[in-house]
Chain A
Amino acid sequence: MARFIARRLLGMVAVLFAISVIVFLIFNVVPNSDPAARIAGKNADPDLIARVNADLGLDQPLPVQYVTMMKQIFTGQLTSYASNRNVVEQIWEGLPATFSLCIGAAVIWMSLAVLFGYLSAVHAGRFADRALTVLSLVGISMPVFWLAAILLYFLSFKVQLFPTGSYVDLTEDPLDWAYHLVLPWFTLAVLFIGFYSRVLRSNMLDAMNEDYVRTARAKGLSERQVRIRHVLRNSMIPIVTLFGLDFGMVVGGGAILTETVYNLPGVGLYAGEAIRSLDLPPLMAVTMFGAFFIVLFNTVVDVAYAVLDPRIRLGEAAPA
C-alpha cells in the first residue's frame, strides 16, 4: 500500500509537470495573447509595453518565466495579469460553490443512474426499459448549456419556480443553498444519469447470465436478493470506476459551463473568465487544480476497485 501511494504521488508530479508545460507553451504561441500588449491598451507605445514586460518578468527567457510561475503557484503568490488579484486565493474562494455543485450533482446522478439502470435491466425489453432507454439517450444528447438555458428560461423566468442562478452559502442558509442549487445539480447530472444507467443496464444483463447468479438462485435466494446482492453488486464495479474518473473531471473543470450559465461563483466560472481574458496565471492554476483532482480521483478509483473486487490487489506489478 505504501509503495502504491508513493508510486501514485510520483505519477501525480509527472502529470502536473507535463500539463503545466503544455499549458505554458500553448499560451505562448496563441496569437494575440501577449499580456503586456493587452495591459498597455490600444495604441500603446513600445516603451510602455517594454516596461510592463519587465514588471511581469516577461522579458526573461521562457524557462525562467516557467520556473518563476511554478514557484508562485506553490507558494500561493501568483497574481493575475488582468486583475492583479491573487490567483490561489480566488480559486480557494471558488471551492465552496464548486464542491456544492459537484457533490450534490454526483449524489443525484449516482442514485438516479443506479435506480434507472436497475429498473431497465430488470424489465429488459419491456415498456419501462424502452421508456428509460429513450430518456437516457435524450439525457446523453442534450448539451449542458442548452439544457441550462432552457431550464432557466422556463422554470426560473417564466414560471419563477427556481431562482435565476447565483449562490447562497451552505453555512448561511442550508435550505436556500439547496434551493439555489437544484437546477444546476440537475443540469450537471443529466448527462451522467443517462450514460451510467445505460452502462449499468448492460453490465447487469451480462451479470444475469453468470454462473454464480444461477448458483444464487439454486441456493433458494429470493429474486430480489439475487438481483441486488449478486447481479447489482458485481455490476457496480465498472460504474464506480467511471464515477471516480468523472467526478474528478467535473470538479477539475467539467462544471465550467454549468457554473457559467447559472452564475455560480466557483472555480469553473473563474476559469471561464480567465479563458475569455487570456489571462495565463489563473489559467495555469485552474488547469493544474483540475489535473490534481483528476489524478487524485484516479487513485481513489484504484483503491475503491481493490476494495470492491478482492481479486485485485494494490502494489503488485500488473501481469504482463
Chain B
Amino acid sequence: MERRNEILNLITKKPGITFRGLARELGIGIGDLQYHLRKLEKEGAVFSRKIGKRRYIFPKGFEEEAQRLIIAISTESRRRILLLLMNGPLSQKEISEALGLSQPTVSYHVGELQKLGIITAEGRGRSVIYSLNYDPETIARIIMEYRPSVWEGLADSLIDFLSGVGDGE
C-alpha cells in the first residue's frame, strides 16, 4: 500500500510521466509497477493515454488538461515551437527563422496552441509576441519522452506543407 501511495504521489507531482519514467525514478521492478498501476487505474486514481509510442500516466482530474496537452504536442512543429518558447517569448518571425518554417506554417501552429491555451499572444508594437502559458516542466517531460511513429512523422510533414499552402480551416 505504501508503494502504491509512493507511485500515486509521483504521478500527481509529475503528471504525464511515462511507465518507464516511473520505474526509473522509483526504482521499482516492471511487474511490481504494472500491478500497482493496474490497481490505481481500477480505483480511478490515475489514467493513462497513449501518445506516439509511449503511454503517459496522469492523476485523476487531469483529463481535460491531458487532452489539451496531447493535441498541443501532436505535431513535430508544435513540439519544436513549445521547446523554443521555453527559452522566452518570441515573435512569429523569430520562431519562423529559428525553426526554418514558413510564416504561414508557424501562424497555423501558434494559432492552434493559442486556442488550446498553451501559449498566449501579446501585441507589442507591430508584432505579436508569443509566450508559454503552461508549466514548462510538464511540457518538457512529455515532449522529451515522445516517440512518434514513422506514419505520424509523415503526417506531420504533410500538415506543415498543407498549412503553408492552405488557410488551415
A pairs with B:
no
Interface residues in chain A, defined as those with a beta carbon under 8 Å from any beta carbon in chain B: none
